[in-house]
Structure 1
Amino acid sequence: MMQELSQHYGHIFDAELLNEIDACAVLKEVPEGGKLMEIGDYIKSMPLLISGVVKILREDDNGDELLLYFLENGDTCAMTLNCCMTQTQSEIRAIAETDTKLVMIPIQKMEEWMAKYQRWRNFVLESYNNRLNELLETLDSIAFLNMDQRLLKYLKDKARVTNSTTINNTHQEIAYELHTSRVVVSRLLKKLENMHKIKLNRNHIQILDLKYGIKF
Protein backbone atom coordinates (compact mmCIF):
# COMPACT_ATOMS: atom_id res chain seq x y z
CA MET A 1 0.00 0.00 0.00
CA MET A 2 2.90 2.37 0.71
CA GLN A 3 3.94 2.37 -2.95
CA GLU A 4 0.47 3.45 -4.06
CA LEU A 5 0.22 6.05 -1.29
CA SER A 6 3.57 7.52 -2.30
CA GLN A 7 2.60 7.56 -5.97
CA HIS A 8 -0.69 9.41 -5.45
CA TYR A 9 -0.12 11.37 -2.23
CA GLY A 10 3.67 11.65 -1.93
CA HIS A 11 3.58 15.18 -3.35
CA ILE A 12 0.94 16.18 -0.76
CA PHE A 13 1.98 14.44 2.48
CA ASP A 14 5.40 14.11 4.08
CA ALA A 15 7.06 10.77 4.79
CA GLU A 16 6.05 10.62 8.46
CA LEU A 17 2.36 11.10 7.64
CA LEU A 18 2.51 8.53 4.82
CA ASN A 19 3.98 6.02 7.28
CA GLU A 20 1.16 6.68 9.75
CA ILE A 21 -1.45 6.22 7.03
CA ASP A 22 0.20 2.98 5.92
CA ALA A 23 0.22 1.70 9.53
CA CYS A 24 -3.45 2.32 10.35
CA ALA A 25 -5.39 2.43 7.07
CA VAL A 26 -7.11 -0.39 5.21
CA LEU A 27 -6.95 -0.86 1.44
CA LYS A 28 -10.40 -1.36 -0.09
CA GLU A 29 -11.38 -2.31 -3.63
CA VAL A 30 -14.89 -1.67 -4.97
CA PRO A 31 -16.03 -2.93 -8.39
CA GLU A 32 -17.80 -0.70 -10.92
CA GLY A 33 -21.34 -0.05 -9.71
CA GLY A 34 -20.51 -1.01 -6.13
CA LYS A 35 -21.85 1.14 -3.30
CA LEU A 36 -19.29 2.76 -1.00
CA MET A 37 -21.71 4.75 1.12
CA GLU A 38 -25.47 4.91 1.59
CA ILE A 39 -27.71 7.69 2.82
CA GLY A 40 -28.23 7.27 6.57
CA ASP A 41 -24.96 5.43 7.18
CA TYR A 42 -22.67 6.42 10.03
CA ILE A 43 -19.16 6.88 8.68
CA LYS A 44 -16.40 4.90 10.38
CA SER A 45 -13.52 5.86 8.10
CA MET A 46 -12.44 8.49 5.61
CA PRO A 47 -11.53 7.47 2.04
CA LEU A 48 -8.49 8.51 0.03
CA LEU A 49 -8.97 7.61 -3.61
CA ILE A 50 -6.05 5.70 -5.13
CA SER A 51 -7.56 4.81 -8.49
CA GLY A 52 -10.92 4.87 -10.24
CA VAL A 53 -13.82 7.32 -10.13
CA VAL A 54 -16.62 7.67 -7.55
CA LYS A 55 -19.86 9.57 -8.15
CA ILE A 56 -21.55 11.37 -5.27
CA LEU A 57 -25.36 11.50 -5.41
CA ARG A 58 -28.07 13.28 -3.44
CA GLU A 59 -31.63 11.96 -3.09
CA ASP A 60 -34.87 13.94 -2.75
CA ASP A 61 -37.97 13.00 -0.76
CA ASN A 62 -39.34 11.06 -3.75
CA GLY A 63 -36.24 8.91 -4.08
CA ASP A 64 -34.99 10.69 -7.21
CA GLU A 65 -31.23 11.18 -7.45
CA LEU A 66 -29.08 14.12 -8.49
CA LEU A 67 -25.40 13.85 -9.38
CA LEU A 68 -23.39 16.28 -7.23
CA TYR A 69 -19.80 15.64 -8.33
CA PHE A 70 -17.16 13.04 -9.16
CA LEU A 71 -14.16 12.02 -7.05
CA GLU A 72 -10.94 11.16 -8.89
CA ASN A 73 -7.43 9.96 -8.05
CA GLY A 74 -5.96 11.90 -5.13
CA ASP A 75 -9.38 13.12 -3.93
CA THR A 76 -11.43 12.64 -0.81
CA CYS A 77 -15.07 13.50 -0.15
CA ALA A 78 -15.83 16.67 1.84
CA MET A 79 -19.23 15.34 2.87
CA THR A 80 -17.59 12.21 4.26
CA LEU A 81 -15.13 14.43 6.13
CA ASN A 82 -18.02 16.37 7.62
CA CYS A 83 -19.85 13.21 8.72
CA CYS A 84 -16.63 11.88 10.27
CA MET A 85 -15.90 15.05 12.18
CA THR A 86 -19.46 15.59 13.43
CA GLN A 87 -20.35 11.87 13.75
CA THR A 88 -23.62 12.43 11.88
CA GLN A 89 -25.40 10.25 9.35
CA SER A 90 -24.49 10.48 5.69
CA GLU A 91 -26.75 12.56 3.46
CA ILE A 92 -25.19 11.35 0.22
CA ARG A 93 -24.78 8.10 -1.71
CA ALA A 94 -21.36 7.17 -3.13
CA ILE A 95 -21.13 4.68 -6.01
CA ALA A 96 -18.06 3.47 -7.91
CA GLU A 97 -18.29 4.80 -11.46
CA THR A 98 -15.37 2.54 -12.42
CA ASP A 99 -13.43 -0.16 -10.57
CA THR A 100 -12.08 1.77 -7.61
CA LYS A 101 -9.32 1.39 -5.04
CA LEU A 102 -9.37 3.40 -1.81
CA VAL A 103 -7.40 3.75 1.39
CA MET A 104 -9.77 3.92 4.37
CA ILE A 105 -8.49 5.94 7.34
CA PRO A 106 -10.06 5.49 10.83
CA ILE A 107 -11.98 8.60 11.86
CA GLN A 108 -10.17 8.90 15.19
CA LYS A 109 -6.97 9.69 13.29
CA MET A 110 -8.47 12.65 11.43
CA GLU A 111 -8.66 15.06 14.36
CA GLU A 112 -5.27 13.93 15.69
CA TRP A 113 -3.61 14.63 12.34
CA MET A 114 -5.35 18.01 11.98
CA ALA A 115 -3.32 19.21 14.97
CA LYS A 116 -0.18 17.21 14.21
CA TYR A 117 0.41 17.69 10.48
CA GLN A 118 0.08 20.98 8.63
CA ARG A 119 0.03 19.19 5.26
CA TRP A 120 -2.91 17.05 6.41
CA ARG A 121 -4.73 20.15 7.62
CA ASN A 122 -4.09 21.89 4.30
CA PHE A 123 -5.29 18.83 2.40
CA VAL A 124 -8.55 18.65 4.36
CA LEU A 125 -9.26 22.38 3.95
CA GLU A 126 -8.41 22.31 0.25
CA SER A 127 -10.69 19.28 -0.21
CA TYR A 128 -13.55 21.17 1.42
CA ASN A 129 -12.91 24.10 -0.90
CA ASN A 130 -12.72 21.95 -4.05
CA ARG A 131 -15.92 20.07 -3.27
CA LEU A 132 -17.71 23.32 -2.40
CA ASN A 133 -16.74 24.77 -5.77
CA GLU A 134 -18.03 21.63 -7.50
CA LEU A 135 -21.31 21.86 -5.59
CA LEU A 136 -21.65 25.51 -6.62
CA GLU A 137 -20.98 24.50 -10.22
CA THR A 138 -23.73 21.88 -9.99
CA LEU A 139 -26.08 24.44 -8.49
CA ASP A 140 -25.23 26.94 -11.23
CA SER A 141 -25.89 24.36 -13.94
CA ILE A 142 -29.34 23.59 -12.49
CA ALA A 143 -30.20 27.26 -12.06
CA PHE A 144 -28.73 28.76 -15.22
CA LEU A 145 -28.29 26.05 -17.87
CA ASN A 146 -30.93 24.49 -20.08
CA MET A 147 -31.26 20.72 -19.98
CA ASP A 148 -29.47 20.37 -23.31
CA GLN A 149 -26.48 22.27 -21.88
CA ARG A 150 -26.56 20.22 -18.69
CA LEU A 151 -26.57 17.00 -20.71
CA LEU A 152 -23.62 18.18 -22.78
CA LYS A 153 -21.69 19.10 -19.62
CA TYR A 154 -22.56 15.72 -18.10
CA LEU A 155 -21.18 13.83 -21.12
CA LYS A 156 -17.99 15.90 -21.15
CA ASP A 157 -17.46 15.39 -17.41
CA LYS A 158 -18.04 11.64 -17.71
CA ALA A 159 -15.56 11.36 -20.57
CA ARG A 160 -12.98 13.39 -18.64
CA VAL A 161 -13.13 11.54 -15.31
CA THR A 162 -13.27 8.06 -16.87
CA ASN A 163 -10.72 8.96 -19.57
CA SER A 164 -12.93 7.19 -22.09
CA THR A 165 -15.08 8.14 -25.06
CA THR A 166 -17.55 5.42 -24.11
CA ILE A 167 -20.30 6.33 -21.64
CA ASN A 168 -21.61 3.09 -20.11
CA ASN A 169 -24.97 4.38 -18.94
CA THR A 170 -28.50 3.86 -20.11
CA HIS A 171 -30.77 6.79 -20.93
CA GLN A 172 -32.67 6.09 -17.71
CA GLU A 173 -29.51 6.17 -15.60
CA ILE A 174 -28.49 9.50 -17.12
CA ALA A 175 -31.98 10.85 -16.46
CA TYR A 176 -31.72 9.83 -12.79
CA GLU A 177 -28.39 11.56 -12.36
CA LEU A 178 -29.59 14.74 -14.08
CA HIS A 179 -32.90 14.64 -12.20
CA THR A 180 -35.02 14.67 -15.36
CA SER A 181 -37.08 12.24 -17.44
CA ARG A 182 -35.80 9.49 -19.73
CA VAL A 183 -37.89 10.88 -22.59
CA VAL A 184 -36.11 14.24 -22.41
CA VAL A 185 -32.67 12.61 -22.25
CA SER A 186 -33.44 10.28 -25.16
CA ARG A 187 -34.67 13.17 -27.31
CA LEU A 188 -31.59 15.28 -26.66
CA LEU A 189 -29.20 12.36 -27.17
CA LYS A 190 -30.86 11.60 -30.50
CA LYS A 191 -30.35 15.20 -31.52
CA LEU A 192 -26.66 14.93 -30.66
CA GLU A 193 -26.45 11.74 -32.71
CA ASN A 194 -28.07 13.45 -35.70
CA MET A 195 -25.40 16.14 -35.40
CA HIS A 196 -22.74 13.37 -35.51
CA LYS A 197 -21.47 14.30 -32.04
CA ILE A 198 -22.23 10.90 -30.48
CA LYS A 199 -23.26 7.42 -31.56
CA LEU A 200 -26.03 5.69 -29.60
CA ASN A 201 -25.67 1.98 -28.86
CA ARG A 202 -27.48 -0.42 -26.61
CA ASN A 203 -26.65 0.54 -23.00
CA HIS A 204 -23.74 2.77 -23.96
CA ILE A 205 -22.93 5.97 -25.83
CA GLN A 206 -19.89 6.54 -28.01
CA ILE A 207 -18.60 10.11 -28.02
CA LEU A 208 -17.40 11.23 -31.43
CA ASP A 209 -16.82 14.95 -30.97
CA LEU A 210 -17.78 17.13 -28.01
CA LYS A 211 -14.77 19.43 -28.12
CA TYR A 212 -16.71 22.42 -29.28
CA GLY A 213 -19.84 24.10 -28.07
CA ILE A 214 -23.11 22.85 -29.49
CA LYS A 215 -26.08 25.01 -30.36
CA PHE A 216 -29.39 23.23 -30.17
Structure 2
Amino acid sequence: MDWISRFIGLASLEAPIRDILTARGVIVAVPKDTVIFGPGKAPENLLLLLEGTVRVQQISDQGREIVLYRVHAGESCVLTTACLLAYEDYSAEGIAETDVQAVAIPRTVFDDLISQSKTFRQFVFSAYSRRITDLFMVIEEVAFHRVDIRLAQRLLELAGKDQVINATHQQMAAELGTAREVISRQLQEFHRRGWVSQTRGAIKVTDVAGLTGLAQSAT
Protein backbone atom coordinates (compact mmCIF):
# COMPACT_ATOMS: atom_id res chain seq x y z
CA MET A 1 0.00 0.00 0.00
CA ASP A 2 1.51 3.31 -1.10
CA TRP A 3 0.39 5.47 1.81
CA ILE A 4 3.32 7.93 1.72
CA SER A 5 1.80 9.94 -1.15
CA ARG A 6 -1.18 10.79 1.07
CA PHE A 7 0.96 13.05 3.26
CA ILE A 8 2.10 16.45 2.07
CA GLY A 9 5.85 16.67 2.57
CA LEU A 10 6.61 12.95 2.40
CA ALA A 11 6.31 12.53 -1.37
CA SER A 12 9.76 14.08 -1.86
CA LEU A 13 11.49 11.76 0.61
CA GLU A 14 14.75 10.16 -0.46
CA ALA A 15 14.25 6.60 -1.73
CA PRO A 16 16.13 4.94 1.18
CA ILE A 17 14.00 6.85 3.71
CA ARG A 18 10.79 5.91 1.90
CA ASP A 19 11.89 2.29 2.00
CA ILE A 20 12.47 2.46 5.76
CA LEU A 21 9.06 4.03 6.37
CA THR A 22 7.18 1.51 4.24
CA ALA A 23 9.10 -1.42 5.71
CA ARG A 24 8.88 -0.40 9.38
CA GLY A 25 5.56 1.44 9.42
CA VAL A 26 2.62 -0.72 10.50
CA ILE A 27 -0.93 -0.04 9.35
CA VAL A 28 -3.31 -0.28 12.30
CA ALA A 29 -7.10 -0.08 12.64
CA VAL A 30 -8.67 1.52 15.70
CA PRO A 31 -12.42 1.28 16.42
CA LYS A 32 -14.52 4.34 17.16
CA ASP A 33 -14.45 5.58 20.78
CA THR A 34 -11.11 3.89 21.55
CA VAL A 35 -8.81 5.88 23.85
CA ILE A 36 -5.61 5.88 21.79
CA PHE A 37 -3.45 7.64 24.38
CA GLY A 38 -3.88 9.34 27.72
CA PRO A 39 -2.12 11.31 30.47
CA GLY A 40 0.87 9.60 32.01
CA LYS A 41 1.47 7.26 29.08
CA ALA A 42 4.60 7.46 26.93
CA PRO A 43 4.17 7.48 23.14
CA GLU A 44 5.44 4.36 21.40
CA ASN A 45 4.67 5.41 17.81
CA LEU A 46 4.07 8.41 15.62
CA LEU A 47 0.62 7.90 14.11
CA LEU A 48 -0.07 9.17 10.58
CA LEU A 49 -3.80 9.06 9.92
CA LEU A 50 -5.01 7.45 6.71
CA GLU A 51 -8.74 7.47 7.50
CA GLY A 52 -10.95 8.85 10.25
CA THR A 53 -10.65 11.49 12.95
CA VAL A 54 -8.97 11.59 16.36
CA ARG A 55 -10.12 14.08 18.99
CA VAL A 56 -7.43 15.37 21.34
CA GLN A 57 -8.77 16.80 24.58
CA GLN A 58 -7.60 17.96 27.99
CA ILE A 59 -9.41 17.18 31.24
CA SER A 60 -8.98 19.46 34.26
CA ASP A 61 -8.70 18.31 37.88
CA GLN A 62 -12.37 19.23 38.25
CA GLY A 63 -13.32 16.96 35.36
CA ARG A 64 -14.01 19.70 32.81
CA GLU A 65 -13.04 18.85 29.24
CA ILE A 66 -11.80 21.05 26.43
CA VAL A 67 -11.19 19.90 22.87
CA LEU A 68 -7.73 21.07 21.83
CA TYR A 69 -7.82 19.96 18.19
CA ARG A 70 -8.73 17.12 15.85
CA VAL A 71 -6.40 15.05 13.72
CA HIS A 72 -7.80 14.19 10.28
CA ALA A 73 -6.69 11.92 7.45
CA GLY A 74 -3.37 13.09 6.01
CA GLU A 75 -2.23 14.56 9.35
CA SER A 76 -0.19 13.56 12.40
CA CYS A 77 -0.73 14.36 16.09
CA VAL A 78 1.34 17.31 17.31
CA LEU A 79 1.09 16.22 20.95
CA THR A 80 2.57 12.85 20.05
CA THR A 81 5.33 14.61 18.12
CA ALA A 82 6.10 16.86 21.09
CA CYS A 83 6.22 13.93 23.51
CA LEU A 84 8.45 11.90 21.18
CA LEU A 85 10.87 14.80 20.78
CA ALA A 86 10.98 15.62 24.50
CA TYR A 87 10.79 12.02 25.78
CA GLU A 88 7.81 12.99 27.92
CA ASP A 89 4.49 11.36 28.74
CA TYR A 90 1.19 12.55 27.32
CA SER A 91 -0.63 15.33 29.17
CA ALA A 92 -3.93 14.94 27.29
CA GLU A 93 -5.95 12.14 25.75
CA GLY A 94 -6.66 11.16 22.17
CA ILE A 95 -9.93 9.42 21.32
CA ALA A 96 -10.96 7.87 18.01
CA GLU A 97 -13.96 9.96 17.05
CA THR A 98 -14.62 7.59 14.13
CA ASP A 99 -13.16 4.29 13.05
CA VAL A 100 -9.53 5.10 12.35
CA GLN A 101 -6.85 3.65 10.09
CA ALA A 102 -3.31 4.89 10.61
CA VAL A 103 0.33 4.11 10.00
CA ALA A 104 2.30 3.58 13.22
CA ILE A 105 5.94 4.67 12.96
CA PRO A 106 7.92 3.17 15.90
CA ARG A 107 9.80 5.56 18.17
CA THR A 108 13.18 4.10 17.15
CA VAL A 109 12.43 4.75 13.47
CA PHE A 110 11.17 8.26 14.27
CA ASP A 111 14.36 9.07 16.19
CA ASP A 112 16.60 7.75 13.41
CA LEU A 113 14.79 9.59 10.60
CA ILE A 114 14.64 12.87 12.50
CA SER A 115 18.44 12.83 12.68
CA GLN A 116 19.11 11.37 9.20
CA SER A 117 16.61 12.99 6.85
CA LYS A 118 16.17 16.72 6.34
CA THR A 119 12.95 16.10 4.37
CA PHE A 120 11.40 13.98 7.11
CA ARG A 121 12.50 16.53 9.72
CA GLN A 122 10.84 19.33 7.74
CA PHE A 123 7.65 17.28 7.45
CA VAL A 124 7.51 16.75 11.21
CA PHE A 125 8.26 20.34 12.19
CA SER A 126 5.99 21.89 9.55
CA ALA A 127 3.05 19.89 10.90
CA TYR A 128 4.10 20.81 14.42
CA SER A 129 4.22 24.55 13.72
CA ARG A 130 0.83 24.56 11.98
CA ARG A 131 -0.85 22.85 14.93
CA ILE A 132 0.83 25.08 17.51
CA THR A 133 -0.73 28.06 15.72
CA ASP A 134 -4.14 26.34 15.99
CA LEU A 135 -3.60 25.81 19.72
CA PHE A 136 -2.85 29.48 20.25
CA MET A 137 -6.14 30.26 18.54
CA VAL A 138 -7.94 27.90 20.95
CA ILE A 139 -6.35 29.71 23.90
CA GLU A 140 -7.37 33.08 22.48
CA GLU A 141 -10.94 31.94 21.91
CA VAL A 142 -11.34 30.53 25.41
CA ALA A 143 -9.78 33.56 27.06
CA PHE A 144 -11.25 36.44 25.07
CA HIS A 145 -14.23 35.53 22.90
CA ARG A 146 -17.89 35.51 23.93
CA VAL A 147 -19.39 32.07 24.45
CA ASP A 148 -22.48 32.83 22.35
CA ILE A 149 -20.36 33.79 19.35
CA ARG A 150 -18.04 30.81 19.76
CA LEU A 151 -21.00 28.45 20.12
CA ALA A 152 -22.62 29.81 16.96
CA GLN A 153 -19.36 29.38 15.06
CA ARG A 154 -18.86 25.82 16.29
CA LEU A 155 -22.43 24.76 15.52
CA LEU A 156 -22.00 25.96 11.94
CA GLU A 157 -18.65 24.15 11.66
CA LEU A 158 -19.97 20.85 13.01
CA ALA A 159 -23.37 20.79 11.27
CA GLY A 160 -23.67 18.09 8.63
CA LYS A 161 -25.51 18.34 5.34
CA ASP A 162 -28.75 17.84 7.25
CA GLN A 163 -27.74 20.70 9.60
CA VAL A 164 -27.70 18.28 12.56
CA ILE A 165 -24.97 18.08 15.21
CA ASN A 166 -25.03 14.78 17.09
CA ALA A 167 -23.72 16.01 20.42
CA THR A 168 -24.88 16.46 23.99
CA HIS A 169 -24.63 19.74 25.90
CA GLN A 170 -21.64 18.26 27.77
CA GLN A 171 -19.88 17.46 24.51
CA MET A 172 -20.47 21.00 23.20
CA ALA A 173 -19.14 22.36 26.49
CA ALA A 174 -15.98 20.30 25.93
CA GLU A 175 -15.68 21.73 22.42
CA LEU A 176 -15.61 25.25 23.84
CA GLY A 177 -13.89 24.71 27.18
CA THR A 178 -16.79 25.88 29.30
CA ALA A 179 -19.42 24.43 31.65
CA ARG A 180 -22.40 22.37 30.49
CA GLU A 181 -24.76 24.76 32.25
CA VAL A 182 -23.41 27.67 30.20
CA ILE A 183 -24.02 25.80 26.94
CA SER A 184 -27.52 24.74 28.04
CA ARG A 185 -28.50 28.33 28.79
CA GLN A 186 -27.08 29.57 25.50
CA LEU A 187 -28.81 26.86 23.45
CA GLN A 188 -32.09 27.72 25.16
CA GLU A 189 -31.61 31.31 23.98
CA PHE A 190 -30.79 30.12 20.44
CA HIS A 191 -33.94 27.98 20.55
CA ARG A 192 -35.99 30.98 21.67
CA ARG A 193 -34.70 32.95 18.69
CA GLY A 194 -35.60 30.10 16.34
CA TRP A 195 -32.02 29.38 15.34
CA VAL A 196 -31.87 25.78 16.61
CA SER A 197 -34.10 22.96 17.74
CA GLN A 198 -33.04 20.26 20.18
CA THR A 199 -33.68 16.59 20.77
CA ARG A 200 -31.89 14.20 23.11
CA GLY A 201 -28.25 14.03 22.02
CA ALA A 202 -28.71 16.21 18.93
CA ILE A 203 -28.97 19.85 17.91
CA LYS A 204 -30.47 20.94 14.59
CA VAL A 205 -29.67 24.29 13.00
CA THR A 206 -32.98 25.74 11.83
CA ASP A 207 -31.83 29.24 10.90
CA VAL A 208 -28.38 29.28 9.29
CA ALA A 209 -28.57 32.99 8.53
CA GLY A 210 -29.34 33.86 12.15
CA LEU A 211 -26.44 31.85 13.50
CA THR A 212 -24.12 33.15 10.78
CA GLY A 213 -24.95 36.72 11.66
CA LEU A 214 -23.94 36.14 15.27
CA ALA A 215 -20.89 34.09 14.32
CA GLN A 216 -19.61 36.86 12.06
CA SER A 217 -20.25 39.63 14.59
CA ALA A 218 -16.85 39.02 16.14
CA THR A 219 -15.06 40.12 12.98
**Highest CA radius of gyration, 1 or 2?**
2
Change (3 A) 1:10 1:79: closer
Q: What's the CA shift string for 1:12-68, capped at 9, x where partnerless?
A: 333634432221112222222221111111110011111111111112222322111
Instruction: Give TM-score, length-normalised by structure 2.
Output: 0.84
In the alignment, does 2:179 pair up with 1:189?
Answer: no
Residue identity opposite 2:28 in structure 1: K
Take 2:156 and 2:110, find their aligned partners in 1: how far apart are those partners? 34
Gaps of 5+ in 1: none
Residue identity opposite 2:138 in structure 1: T
Aligned to 2:38: 38
Change (3 A) 1:145 1:32: same
Gaps of 5+ in 2: none
In the alignment, does 2:66 pair up with 1:59?
Answer: no
Contact 1:29 1:101 in 2 (8 A): yes
Aligned to 1:134: 134
The structural deviation recorded for 1:11 is: 6.0
In the alignment, does 2:106 pair up with 1:106?
Answer: yes
Contact 1:83 1:89 in 2 (8 A): yes
Residue identity opposite 2:2 in structure 1: Q
More moved, 141-150 vs 206-215: 206-215
Take 1:51 and 1:124, find their aligned partners in 2: how far apart are those partners? 19
SS of the equivalent of 1:214 reads: helix
Aligned to 2:198: 200
Q: CA RMSD in A?
A: 2.5
Aligned to 1:94: 94
Contact 2:66 2:173 in 1 (8 A): no
Take 1:201 and 1:93, find their aligned partners in 2: how far apart are those partners? 29
Contact 1:48 1:75 in 2 (8 A): yes
SS of the equivalent of 1:46 reads: strand
Q: What's the CA shift string for 1:66-91, capped at 9, x where partnerless?
A: 11111112111121111112221100
Matched positions, count: 212
